[in-house]
Amino acid sequence: MNAAVFTQSYQEPPFCEREILRYAGCRKQEPHTEALLADCLQEVSGIFSYRICFCELPVSVNGSLCDFALFSLRSEALAKNLSGSDKAIVFAATVGVGIDRLIAKYSRLSPARALMLQAIGAERIEALCDAFCGEMNARYPSGLKPRFSPGYGDLPLSAQTDLFSLLDPPKRIGLSLNGSLLMSPSKSVTAVMGISNPRSSLSNPGSAGAC
């Protein structure tokens, strides 16, 4: 079978300053921290490119083996996550290389600023994934399972190669994978999301908003 892979670009999601400060490890807002954040937000204006490629595949689970027809992954945690699903969405997302360039620049000039930029990048990729998950939740009213990424739990980072072979992110969204299985741009995500089967007793209706 051949999988239809779709590519989408997104408008910039609203920034959540509280989440950015959480990623930066700031437990409370102080004037100098707020000033640094405001300055960094001004500097990153317009540098992000919000892009996703994705496809839908059938999935069957047998023990710890998760079979997606075109490839299979072995993970007890992923198998548990996909319980009650007979289809899944596989996706890759990135916010572009601009933030990486700024982080590299300020890693030498201002470590505090580089840390805040790292936090902004982390919040941006999560905001993009949340926007995509919200769209998919609307498309599949039976609900989605929480997204599950290579390197999480017992799913090895080497699973990245299967997802990249399927989606071809370098061509579609400018996202590459190096020999150490690290993605570039760094503020990127690959993941699998089970689509809940409403006929299955294993489906969890409450999982729809968990993405």
pLDDT band at 30 (very low <50, low <70, confident <90, very high): confident
Show the domains of the chain with their CATH numbers.
6-209 (3.40.109.40)
Question: In terms of pTM, does the model score above 0.85?
Answer: yes
Q: What is the CA radius of gyration of the chain?
A: 18
Instruction: Report the C-alpha gap between 47 and 95 in whole angstroms.
Output: 9
Residue 31, pLDDT score: 85
The tokens describing 83, both together, are: 């319980």
Confidence of residue 95 (pLDDT cuts 50, 70, 90): very high
Query: Looking at residue 200, what is its pLDDT?
Result: 56
**Average pLDDT for 127-151:** 95
